[in-house]
Amino acid sequence: MVTKEDVVDALREVEDPELGMDIVELGLMYDVDVEGSKVKVTHSLTSMGCPAGPLIQEGIHDAVAALPGVEDVAVELTWDPPWTPERLSDDAKIILGVPF
């Protein structure tokens, strides 16, 4: 059976093409819910007008669907709470030059 940790690891392969970093490090992944073979990923984008949004959502779906034991994937976009640079990992802050 797939675990939340399996899903998070798979999501580390999904990059924001504009920033060249994965959505976990960027703080765009908000929640993962696993119920048996069903997985729901709640995420945000850096802005409402993010042109990479559809590509990121497709990447989330494909990365999770490729995990053994996953039969259903739901990808939910949320703006609550809005993404801010504070959600970046420490490594991402260093790479992107965002002050701590």
pLDDT beyond 90 at 11? yes
Domain parsing of the chain, residue ranges: 4-87
Question: For residue range 16-72, what is the model confidence (pLDDT) as tens digits?
Answer: 998 999 999 999 999 999 999 999 999 999 999 899 999 999 999 999 999 999 999
Q: Give the global pTM.
A: 0.94
Homologous superfamily assigned to 4-87: Fe-S cluster assembly (FSCA) (3.30.300.130)
Contacts of 38 (CB under 8 A, 6+ apart): 70, 71, 72, 73, 74
**Cα Rg, the chain, nearest whole Å:** 13
The pLDDT-based confidence of 100 (bands split at 50, 70, 90) is: confident
| Strand 72-77 relative to strand 38-43, pairing | parallel
